[in-house]
Amino acid sequence: MEFVERYNGCGLLVSVKKKIAEAYGIQKVEIFETESFGKMLVIDGKVQVTEFDEPFYHEMLVHVPMNSCKNAKSVLIIGGGDGGALREVLKHDVEKVVLVEIDNNVIELCKKFLKIDAGAFDDSRVKVVIEDGRKFIEHCETFDVIIVDGTDPVGVSDPLFGRDFFEICNKKCGVFCSQSQSPLIQRQLFRKMIVNSTVIRNRTVFTSVVPTYPMAYWSFIIGGDFSFRYVRRNYRKIKGKTKHYNPEVHFSAFALPNWLKEEIRDAELRGN
Ligand code: SAM
């Protein structure tokens, strides 16, 4: 059996042994056993997580912002129902983590069949809220770090890429980080993210390789009061190992190629 994800004239093909779980609610949630990438979470036909390369993504999404602040104690994760980002946040000396996930099916299936959370959902510091992150941000307290781990900016995730959402987040955290799609094959989505996120102070882009995401080159935005001065010290304090992330990867992630710098500059100039 083959799973195919198509995007803008190209795609990803994954040989699959079998489907091990599925649920249909506000999204179509499926979990597969693959030939080469371990278990794979698919939401509305798009690859979200594979056991093979999820650390490439979750470690960059979490440790770049967490190591960019002096001493983060309170963290908000919006999305992230697979538990990978939560697992990485708990490797830091945090006191409170709130995870706001719109679709409880994702959490239930991932806890039961994917298991990349490694027990993170049951940690006493964690509070899980089943709500739309766009609504939650309106009434929540402030956090040291806000991490947005949403699906593609279509459907239920769309409000997590809006200017109004970023304006509120900018006021509610010290450091903000979100995945921001593929600048290569999802140019319009990426440019929309760049334009809308100009309201976040010091908003900057970094990148990483994520082999099973569209064309394997992924972007993230970070903003707020982030600094490079704590990276090495905080890296040494991480509890447990990281498969992908280290300080050299952190620093080099901010070195952008000319075409990407131009894309960002052009989007900011044109406003679209
Ligand atoms: N790593 C993936 C990526 O970059 O595409 C994302 C993984 S994670 C499974 C995405 C999660 O965001 C899903 O569980 C989805 O239900 C959740 N989500 C989407 N829109 C949301 C919203 N408005 N509020 C809260 N969670 C949301």
State the average pLDDT for the chain. Answer: 97
Is any atom of ligand 1 closer than 6 Å to the C-beta of 80? yes
- Substitution site in 46, 102, 109 for ligand 1 pocket (most atoms within 8 Å of beta carbon): 102
> Considering only CA atoms, which of 116, 193, 122, 128 is closest in space to residue 162?
193
Helices then strands, counting H and E runs in the chain, come out as: 9, 12
Domain 54-270 -> CATH class: alpha beta
pTM of the model: 0.97
Question: Which two three-digit tokens encode residue 264?
Answer: 């960002």
Per domain, the residue ranges of the chain are 2-50, 54-270
Q: Write the pLDDT tens digit of every residue in 222-260.
A: 999 999 999 999 999 999 999 999 999 999 999 999 999
Distance of CA 237 from the midpoint of ligand 1 (Å): 28
Q: With 90 as the cut, is the pLDDT of residue 8 above it?
A: no
Q: How many CA atoms lie within 13 A of 94 on its CB side?
A: 30
The rounded distance, in Å, linking the Cα atoms of 130 and 79 is 10
Q: With 90 as the cut, is the pLDDT of residue 175 above it?
A: yes
Is any atom of ligand 1 closer than 6 Å to the C-beta of 97? no
Which superfamily, per CATH, for 2-50?
Spermidine synthase, tetramerisation domain (2.30.140.10)
